[in-house]
C-alpha cells in the first residue's frame, strides 16, 4: 500500500479500529448547533445557502453515509435476513420509544397550551394518533405554537428513511444483487433522477439524503477497489468548500461527503479510535435535543441566546443520551445474538426450534 493511502480497516478489526464513534458524536453535536440556530431564528428567516444550515445538513449527510457503510458491513456479517432485522430493531427501537414517551408524557403536559384533560383526550384521539408519528407539527396537542418553529421533533423524519434503506439493503442481499456490479449504482442513478425531478421542492428534495446512505454502502461493498487517498480527499474537500455558497452545494455534497466520511473514519488516530469506549451517545443526542430545545425556547419566550440554547440543550440531551445508552440501548444490543432456543429456554419452553441465524 502506498504510504500516502489510508487503508480501510477490515470489519473484523472491531469497533475501536476506526473513528466512526467520534464522527457520529461530532456530527450529532453539529446537528444540535444547527437546530439551535434554526429553532431560535425560524426557518422562514434563514436563507437557502445559510452556512450554519449547510453545516447541519453536512453533519446529517455524515451520519447517513456512516450508516450506509456500517449497515452494508452488518449485512455481510449476518447470515440471515431475520437476524439482520433483529439487530436493526435492537439498535433503533429501544432508544426511540423512550424519547417519544418523554416528549408526549413529560414535556408535552408541561408546555401544552391545552388544559391537561384536553391534552390527554386529544393525544389518544384519532386526530392525535395521526399527528404523532413524525412530530412535524404540535398544533393538535397545543405544543410549541408560539415558537418560531412549531415542529415537536423534526429530527425523527430520518428514522423511517433509514428503516426503509435497511430494507433496501436486505432486499438486495436476499435477491443476490448487493454484490452485482450494476445493481446498487442503478439504484443510485434512479434516486438521482427522482431527486432532480424534485430539485426545486425544498421538502421533497430531501430524497437526496438517501444517496448518502447508498454511496456509503457502495463504498463498503467496493472497499477492495476503492483507494482512500489524501489527494482525492483534499480535492473533494476543496470542491465542497468552494461550492458551499452556490446552488451547486447540494450536488457537491452528495459527490464529496461519502468519500470524505469514510476516508476520515479510517485515519489511524488512536485517541479517536477509542472515543466511544464509554458508550455511543450520538443516537440519544440526535433523538432528544430537538424537543428539549423547543421546550427551552417556549419556557424562556425565545429570549435565550443561540449559544446558550445550544449549551443548555446539548447538556440536557447528553444526559438523556447517557442514561439511554447505559439503561436501555446497551442492554438491548446485548440481545443481538439471542437465538430462538435461548428465548424458549428463558420462557421455560422446550428448545426445539432452530436458531434465528448463525
Do 293 and 111 contact (CB within 8 A), yes or no?
no
Burial category of 109 from C-beta neighbours within 10 Å (exposed 0-12, middle 13-18, buried 19 and up): middle
Do 199 and 205 contact (CB within 8 A), yes or no?
yes
Alpha-carbon span 196 to 250, nearest angstrom:
11
- Exposure class string for 288-307: b at 16+ Cβ within 10 A, else e: bbbbbbbbbbbeeebebeee
Burial category of 308 from C-beta neighbours within 10 Å (exposed 0-12, middle 13-18, buried 19 and up): middle
Helix (H, G, I), strand (E, B) or coil at 1: coil
Mean pLDDT by 10 residues, the chain (358 residues): 48 68 97 98 89 95 97 89 93 95 93 93 83 70 92 92 95 91 91 81 76 96 91 95 88 95 92 86 97 96 97 98 96 82 59 46
Do 337 and 329 contact (CB within 8 A), yes or no?
no
Per-residue confidence (pLDDT) for residue 179, from 0 to 100:
87
CB atoms within 10 A of CB 181: 9
Alpha-carbon span 68 to 258, nearest angstrom:
9
Burial category of 28 from C-beta neighbours within 10 Å (exposed 0-12, middle 13-18, buried 19 and up): buried
Per-residue confidence (pLDDT) for residue 8, from 0 to 100:
56
Per-residue confidence (pLDDT) for residue 36, from 0 to 100:
98
Per-residue confidence (pLDDT) for residue 353, from 0 to 100:
46
Per-residue confidence (pLDDT) for residue 340, from 0 to 100:
57
Do 351 and 341 contact (CB within 8 A), yes or no?
yes
Amino acid at each position: 500500500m502506498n504510504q500516502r493511502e489510508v487503508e480501510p480497516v477490515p470489519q473484523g478489526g472491531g469497533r475501536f479500529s476506526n473513528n466512526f464513534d467520534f464522527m457520529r458524536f461530532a456530527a450529532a453535536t453539529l446537528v444540535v448547533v444547527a437546530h439551535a440556530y434554526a429553532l431560535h431564528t425560524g426557518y422562514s428567516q434563514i436563507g437557502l445557502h445559510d452556512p450554519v444550515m449547510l453545516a447541519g445538513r453536512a453533519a446529517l449527510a455524515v451520519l447517513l453515509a456512516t450508516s450506509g457503510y456500517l449497515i452494508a458491513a452488518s449485512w455481510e456479517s449476518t447470515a440471515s435476513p431475520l437476524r439482520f432485522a433483529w439487530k436493526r430493531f435492537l439498535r433503533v427501537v429501544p432508544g426511540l420509544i423512550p424519547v417519544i414517551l418523554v416528549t408526549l408524557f413529560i414535556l408535552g403536559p408541561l408546555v401544552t397550551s391545552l388544559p391537561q384533560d384536553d391534552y390527554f383526550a386529544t393525544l389518544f384521539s384519532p386526530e392525535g394518533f395521526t399527528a404523532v408519528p413524525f412530530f412535524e407539527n404540535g398544533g393538535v396537542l397545543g405544543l410549541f405554537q408560539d415558537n418560531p418553529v412549531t415542529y415537536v421533533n423534526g429530527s425523527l423524519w430520518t428514522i423511517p428513511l433509514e428503516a426503509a434503506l435497511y430494507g433496501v439493503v436486505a432486499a438486495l442481499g436476499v435477491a443476490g444483487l448487493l454484490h452485482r456490479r450494476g445493481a446498487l449504482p442503478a439504484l443510485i442513478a434512479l434516486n438521482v433522477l427522482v431527486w432532480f425531478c424534485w430539485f426545486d421542492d425544498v421538502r421533497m428534495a430531501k430524497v437526496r439524503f438517501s444517496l448518502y446512505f447508498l454511496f456509503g454502502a457502495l463504498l463498503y461493498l467496493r472497499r477492495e477497489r476503492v483507494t482512500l487517498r489524501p489527494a482525492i480527499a483534499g480535492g473533494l474537500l476543496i470542491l465542497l468548500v468552494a461550492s458551499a455558497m452556490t446552488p451547486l452545494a447540494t450536488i457537491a455534497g452528495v459527490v464529496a461527503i461519502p468519500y470524505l466520511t469514510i476516508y476520515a473514519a479510517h485515519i489511524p488516530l488512536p485517541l479517536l479510535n477509542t472515543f466511544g469506549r464509554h458508550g455511543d451517545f450520538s443516537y440519544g443526542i440526535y433523538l432528544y435535543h430537538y424537543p428539549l430545545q423547543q421546550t427551552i425556547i417556549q419556557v424562556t419566550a425565545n429570549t435565550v441566546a443561540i449559544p446558550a440554547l445550544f449549551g443548555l440543550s446539548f447538556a440536557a440531551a447528553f444526559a438523556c443520551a447517557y442514561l439511554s445508552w447505559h439503561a436501555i440501548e446497551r442492554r438491548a444490543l446485548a440481545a443481538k445474538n439471542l437465538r430462538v432456543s435461548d428465548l424458549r429456554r428463558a420462557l421455560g419452553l422446550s428448545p426445539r426450534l432452530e436458531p434465528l441465524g448463525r
